[in-house]
Amino acid sequence: MFKTGFDTMVLEKEYIPLESFTQMIGGVPPSKVVAKALLGVSVTTEDPEFNKKYEGAIKTALEKYKLKQPKRIYKSAHLLKQIKGRYDEVFTNILNAMEKSITRIDLYHATYLHDNPDENYVSIYGKAQGERLTPLDYIEQHRNGFDQACAWWNWREYSPVEHDTVYCIDHFDSKMTPGWAEFEKSGSKINVFYSGGECNCLISLSDLILKEIDDFHFGPIDYISVAMPIRRKANFSLAQKIRSFNLSKTDLTIRQTVPELPFDIDLNQYIKHPIYFIAWTPNAPRKTVRPSFEFSTFYNAVMSKAIDSDGCVKLLDFDRDMTFWDASDFIVPWEAPDIEHVKQLQSMGFQDMPKILNASDLTT
């Protein structure tokens, strides 16, 4: 069985073209150019021991530099915060340690730029009111929805020979696209993870790769330059397993992967259970204390539970979580006010109310 994990981001660069520099004293300052692309990574494995080996690779890489490991697996932002300037070295060690377990690394990007500048627009909502956006505006407005395009392309490219693939996708937000509709109809096994980079090993590694590309990408954004930072860090055998695709190269691919209807893709049926809902109502503004909270013993213990049960983690949202939770899930209240909030939920009589986990049971 194949498993493939996906994560995406926006690759953004500002630079001054060499031809715009002037040697004239007091000349007009050269203007900056802003380049953006949607960027995606997927990692595919056939190794049933991938997760165990990935956790081992992280442990070994951190021990090599005598670094602490409060988390079993990492998203790139957490790893960078903890190890700072060692990120590149640690990442390279992890990446190459996993070579034998990696079937393939696929890279995806889309700039939506045409050879003819007059055609530099993206048409969306063709089955509804219709709208045209500049490539930069489209990328900015749909920066959290590229996962659907990457998953569709991967399925289209490999499903004829890689049967029964499980697609593990970090949670995303996108409007309906023809490609996703086709992907859904295929009956493929789709698992969507909240906090995927922290509780799913394939998504975690994809996220680390994204960060490396973001930091070391150089030159115009194309399928060659996007792959170069990873090819340079990978050993010879792993470098042969890297493929790169431009998902805005043809009009057909663009039509399949941009929204045709202004309605959200419904991911509820694909959310990976069990979900561990963290009930957390801090006294200070959440944005202020969240960075520390995400390194707390409590938070890391919840993530560890999710890793062991192949589930995911989400901060409890009283507005909509009841629409997709089920009896296999858990709510983990942090402090006394959170316990009271959960009791209020229990009194509402939900039929498929998640079970309640005591925070002290996680951290003792």
pLDDT (tens digit per residue) in 84-142: 999 999 999 999 999 999 999 999 999 999 877 777 899 999 999 999 999 999 999 99
Among the listed ranges 115-124, 152-161, 285-294, which one has the minimum average pLDDT value? Answer: 115-124
Q: Among 220, 245, 268, where does a domain finish?
A: 268
pTM: 0.94
Q: Among 268, 301, 316, where does a domain finish?
A: 268
Residues near 58 by beta carbon (within 8 Å), at least 6 away in sequence: 69, 72, 73, 74, 94
Residue 49 sits in the same domain as residue 128: yes
Residue 235 sits in the same domain as residue 350: no
The sign one gets for the Cα dihedral 71, 303, 42, 46 is positive
pLDDT reading at 363 higher than 90: no
Residue 218 sits in the same domain as residue 147: yes
Residue 189 sits in the same domain as residue 291: no
Higher local confidence (pLDDT), 27 or 42: 42
pLDDT reading at 254 higher than 80: yes
Q: What is the pLDDT of residue 117?
A: 74
pLDDT reading at 16 higher than 80: no
Q: Among 218, 251, 268, where does a domain finish?
A: 268
291 preceded by a cis bond (ω within 30 of 0)? no
Residue 120 sits in the same domain as residue 226: yes
Residue 102 sits in the same domain as residue 196: yes
Residue 143 sits in the same domain as residue 251: yes
Q: What is the pLDDT of residue 62?
A: 97
Residue 38 sits in the same domain as residue 158: yes
Task: Measure the CA angle with vertex 7, ends 74 and 263; round to 5°.
Answer: 130
Biggest distance spanned by C-alpha atoms of the chain: 76
Supply the range of the domain harboring residue 113: 3-268
Residue 249 sits in the same domain as residue 173: yes
Residue 254 sits in the same domain as residue 178: yes
Q: What is the pLDDT of residue 118?
A: 73
Residue 140 sits in the same domain as residue 237: yes
Number of domains in the chain: 2
Mean pLDDT over the full length of the chain: 93
Which CATH number do you get for residue 301? 3.40.1010
Asked if residues 44 and 104 have their Cβ atoms less than 8 Å apart, the reply is: yes
Q: What is the pLDDT of residue 327?
A: 94
Residue 206 sits in the same domain as residue 333: no
Which of the 8 DSSP states describes residue 333?
E
